[in-house]
Amino acid sequence: MDGVARVVKRADGWKNMYGFINTSGKEIIPTKYEDTDDSWYRALRFSELIIVGNDNKYGCYDKTGKMVVPLIYSNIGNYSNNLATVLENGKWGYIDKTGKVSIPLIYEYASDFSVNSAIVKKEGKWGTIDTLGNVVIPIIYNEKLLGYGGLLKRKKVTNGVLSTKQAKKFFPLIMTELVSLKKIWLGQKKRINMDLLTKMPK
């Protein structure tokens, strides 16, 4: 389907080991891996890289058979905005489509990117970053963002609505409840502009 095909052979009489061949039938990735993905999963992941794994450690080959990421990650996620989440030693970060680390593995949690921002957790606090790793919403909140334009939680009491697009204008808004915009909408008569800071009615 995408120029390569997964092949399998039996090892020790019972265990499947996987590798890949190209359209000429030439083996480009040796059949020595316990876990690999096929073209379906690569399409879902929006990746040209081929993920392989042994002993719950994963790495990547390109379609020429060159290993571009060694088997060091516990998890390699989907691509969004050309970046994929990776997990190593309990820390999350991001690699680009060549397998190079683009955003350091310093987070306790990292989401896929949406609208050019991703939710992250560091030292027990939540915020968002952009595709360059710059902090957008400061990583100071006790609860993570509920999707696009959600509310955040902190210790002090102030009500408001947050949009991820104008993060620098949001402070000193300090949230005490984590609520979705759908719930807020039900109590509003006017349309909420998700790109602007909007005070909740008292």
Give the closest residue to 133 by CA, choosing from 107, 98, 154, 151: 107
72 neighbors 78 (Cβ within 8 angstroms) = no
Q: What are 16's strand-pairing partners?
A: 10
Q: How many CB atoms lie within 10 A of CB 116?
A: 15
Give the angle 82-161-166 at the CA atoms, nearest 5°: 45
Residue-wise pLDDT tens digits, 32-76 = 999 887 666 666 667 778 899 999 999 999 989 999 999 999 999
Q: What are 88's strand-pairing partners?
A: 91
Distance of CA 192 to the CA centre of its chain: 28
Report the 3 state secondary structure along 58-83: EEEECCCCCEEEEEEECEEEEEECCE
Distance CA 38, CA 110 (A): 25
Q: How many CA atoms lie within 13 A of 137 on its CB side?
A: 32
pLDDT of res. 32: 93
Q: What are 109's strand-pairing partners?
A: 121
Residues of the chain with pLDDT under 50: 148-202
Give the closest residue to 17 by CA, choosing from 5, 34, 3: 34
Distance CA 73, CA 57 (A): 5
Report the 3 state secondary structure along 85-127: EEEECCEEEEECCCCCEEEEEEECEECCCECCEEEEEECCEEE
| Count helices and strands in the chain by DSSP H and E runs | 2, 15
Supply 181's token pair. 């915009």
Distance CA 120, CA 197 (A): 22
